[in-house]
Amino acid sequence: MKKMHIVMLVFIAAAIAGLLIYMGDVTTYETIASARQKKGKAVMVIAKLDKATLNYDALKNPNYLTFEATDTLGDRMKVAYYYEKPYDMEKSERIVLKGKMENGVFEIKKKDGILVKCPSKYKDDMNAAKKNLETASN
């Protein structure tokens, strides 16, 4: 066996180890119901924001945002986020949440834990755009 082959094997083993480390940390997509069953484990939930429940007051605490979110199965959960309110959150079609269910509240402690799927981001929001056109015609 050549030296180079040994080196290759070692590195490939290291790469696989790296991948395994990564796979050990990956999260899974869950529904609200199944996230409730995985208390304390980081999961991803794709949900819809209930705009009426959005609560953020920079005056009181700029690092605390709460809202409720529903998923396609109709379940509902409380969400707490410990950063500023993401821009354009109100207009999101869906939000992707990454966090842990703790005491019935979905706690998001990472800044990138909320991904707002905004129609406006890099894309035409055809619905909002249409609305613009309709108001133009009135």
Partner 1 sequence: MKYIGEHLLPGDLGRFFLMLSLASSLVATIAFAIANKKNDPAEKQSWLRMARFSFLLETVAVLSIFMVLYYIISHHLFEYKYAWQHSDKSLQVEYLFSCFWEGQEGSFMLWAFWHCVLGWILIWKSKQWEAGVMTVVSFAQFCLATMILGIYFFGERVGSSPFVLLRNEMDAPIFSRPEYLSLVKDGNGLNTLLQNYWMVIHPPILFLGFASTIVPFAFAYAGLVNKNHDWIKVSIPWGVFSVAILGTGIMMGAMWAYESLSFGGYWAWDPVENASLVPWLIMVAGLHTNLIYKSTGYSLRSTYFFYAASFILVLYSTFLTRSGVLGDTSVHAFTDLGMNVQLYLFLTVFIWFPTLFAAREARTKWAIIAAFIVCNVLSVYIPVFTLVSTLGSFLWLSVLLNKHVPAIAKEENTYSREFWMFIGSLVIFLSAVVITLITSLPVFNKLFADWSFFKKAFSQPEDAEFTHNQIQVFVAIILGILTAVTQYFKYKDTPKNYFSKKILVPTLVSLAITLLITFIGHISYDKKGPGFLVAIHLAIFSAVYSIVANAGYIWLGLKGKLKAAGASVAHIGFGMVLLGILISSGNKTILSWNKTGITVLERTQKENPAENTTLFRGIATDMGNYMVTYVGDTMNERDRKRYFEIDFKPKDGSKGFKVYPDVIKNNKGGEGFAANPDSKHYWGKDIFVYITSFKEDDKMDTSSFRPQEIKRGDTVFYSNGFMVLDAVSKINPEEKKDKFTEGEQAIFLEMSITSKEGRRYKSMPGIAIKDSTIRAIPDTVLAQNLVLKFNKVLDQKMGKLELGIKESKSLTKLLTLKVLQFPMIKFLWFGVVVMVIGCVMSIVQRVKQKTKA
Q: Give the interface with partner 1 as residue ranges (CB under 8 A).
A: 2-4, 7-8, 11-12, 14-15, 18-19, 21-22, 25-30, 42, 44, 46, 56, 58-64, 82-85, 87-88, 90-91, 96, 98-100, 109-113, 115, 117-126, 128-130, 132-134, 136-137
Structure tokens at 13: 């083993």
Quick one: 77 or 116, whose CB is closer to partner 1? 116
Q: Minimum distance between the CB of residue 12 and partner 1, rounded to whole angstroms? A: 7
Q: Minimum distance between the CB of residue 68 and partner 1, rounded to whole angstroms? A: 19
Distance CA 66, CA 45 (A): 16
In angstroms, the Cα distances linking 102 to 24, 26, 70 are: 21, 19, 17
Q: Minimum distance between the CB of residue 5 and partner 1, rounded to whole angstroms? A: 9
Structure tokens at 15: 């790469």
Contact by Cβ (8 Å): 47, 74: no
Structure tokens at 102: 């703790």
Q: Minimum distance between the CB of residue 119 and partner 1, rounded to whole angstroms? A: 7
C-beta neighbour count of 100 within 10 angstroms: 18
C-beta neighbour count of 86 within 10 angstroms: 18
